[in-house]
Amino acid sequence: MVVIQSYFVAVLLCVITMFCWGSWANTQKLVSKKWAFQLFYWDYSLGVLILSLILAFTMGSAGEEGRSFLSDLAQADGKALGSAFLGGVVFNLANILIVVAINIAGMAVAFPIGIGLALVIGVILNYVATPIGHPVFLFAGVILVALAIILDAVAYRKSSAGKISTTTKGIIISILGGILMGFFYRFVAASMATDFVDPQPGKLTPYTASVVFAVGLLLSNFVWNTFFMYRPISGERATYSDYFKKGNVRLHMIGIFGGIIWSLGMTFNIIASGQAGFAISYGLGQGATLIAALWGVFIWKEFGKAEGLKGILTTMFLFYLAGLSMIILSRLI
């Protein structure tokens, strides 16, 4: 399989993850007026699995290092498979909640609060499990990102006069999703070998972990997504018949493409963890909050023009950039 040997390349993969995780929700925004998010989410889940399988049979089966995908899957023990699968189940519920929050409060709020909270929890959990990187620089970076999240919430509140109840509901759902999302990566990381070149018996390589994770995501959809289809927190009730009656090729392809974008980021991120460590790799990937905020501000125009808003947003972006820089440096100090 393809194994990364350079920290620089690992950081580059994490930057790609950042853009993927911060951009996939644009596909949901594109179809939100014609297609319930629950129906979109079935296609998204398929896209995640499709891309993970493509990478597993290509990058995950090429070269002489590590184990090929099918060989790795055959030797995996139940504990490793269960951990990666559980990661998909937990992520799925967390992600659905954040998608609901996007519908209610917009990308510029749901992503920074939900994913930002996941960043803080995820970095702490993964650093405690595998302490790679200078803790002062790593956690200073996390604190700066957390401050940026607070500024984002302040900015949106200033620009959403008359929508306070809706915004509050979106923030609460974002927080719940963020807490859950802070845990999913640890389950995936626990399933993987620490040495990708010569992986331990029973453990998974990143490509296999990505596929098992995607299977957990898709299968848990029959529980989580079915519940939100028939008992929606936001929007109208959706049914399975709606998926076939109201859908068309364009709507389905947009959803699948959204899943492909996210899945590319996920696989690249756990590949990068071999050099960067799980805490740094996850932390950099969750810089997606910055990318999502940029989309929300400049493309979807989710912020108004309240007085002082420009200064708050500028400070928020600077804090994000400084925080991500500190996280990168933590591996070099």
Contacts with 262 (C-beta within 8 Å, 6 or more apart), sequence order: 20, 21, 24, 44, 47, 48
What range defines the domain where residue 32 resides? 7-329
Do residues 229 and 96 make contact, with C-beta atoms less than 8 angstroms apart?
no
DSSP annotation string for 120-135: HHHHHHHHHHS--S-H
Q: CA torsion angle for 259, 120, 317, 312 (degrees, to 10)?
A: 120
Task: Determine the Cα–Cα distance for residues 282 and 284; give it in Å rounded to an integer.
Answer: 6
Mean model confidence pLDDT for the chain = 89
In a domain, 212, yes or no: yes
Task: Determine the Cα–Cα distance for residues 186 and 184; give it in Å rounded to an integer.
Answer: 6
Strands (E) across the chain are located at none
In a domain, 71, yes or no: yes
Task: Determine the Cα–Cα distance for residues 188 and 273; give it in Å rounded to an integer.
Answer: 11
Structure confidence by residue, pLDDT tens digits, 160-178:
654 545 578 888 898 999 9
Structure confidence by residue, pLDDT tens digits, 101-158:
877 776 667 767 787 788 889 999 999 999 999 999 999 999 998 888 778 777 766 7
Contacts with 213 (C-beta within 8 Å, 6 or more apart), sequence order: 52, 84, 85, 87, 88, 91, 188, 266
pLDDT reading at 79 higher than 80:
yes
Count up the domains in the chain and report the number: 1
Task: State the pLDDT confidence band at 98, using cuts at 50, 70 and 90.
Answer: confident
Q: Mean pLDDT, to the nearest integer, of 12-40?
A: 89
Do residues 144 and 321 make contact, with C-beta atoms less than 8 angstroms apart?
no
Do residues 292 and 22 make contact, with C-beta atoms less than 8 angstroms apart?
yes
In a domain, 162, yes or no: yes
As a whole-number percent, the residues of the chain with pLDDT over 90 amount to 64
Q: Mean pLDDT, to the nearest integer, of 76-97?
A: 96
Structure confidence by residue, pLDDT tens digits, 174-214:
899 999 999 999 999 999 999 999 999 999 999 999 999 99
DSSP annotation string for 277-328: -HHHHHHHHTTHHHHHHHIIIIIS--S---TTHHHHHHHHHHHHHHHHHHHH
In a domain, 62, yes or no: yes
In a domain, 2, yes or no: no
In a domain, 58, yes or no: yes
User: Which amino acid, one-letter code, is at 322?
Assistant: A
Q: What is the pLDDT of residue 222?
A: 97
Q: Is 146 helix (H, G, I), strand (E, B) or coil?
A: helix
Task: Determine the Cα–Cα distance for residues 252 and 108; give it in Å rounded to an integer.
Answer: 25
Q: What is the pLDDT of residue 126?
A: 94
Do residues 42 and 217 make contact, with C-beta atoms less than 8 angstroms apart?
no
Task: Determine the Cα–Cα distance for residues 46 and 217; give it in Å rounded to an integer.
Answer: 9
Residue of 307, 229, 298 lying closest to 39 (CA atoms): 229
As a whole-number percent, the residues of the chain with pLDDT over 70 amount to 93
Task: Determine the Cα–Cα distance for residues 74 and 265; give it in Å rounded to an integer.
Answer: 25
In a domain, 1, yes or no: no
Do residues 109 and 289 make contact, with C-beta atoms less than 8 angstroms apart?
no
pTM of the predicted structure, to 2 decimals:
0.90
Backbone angles phi, psi at 302, to 5 degrees: -80, -10
In a domain, 323, yes or no: yes
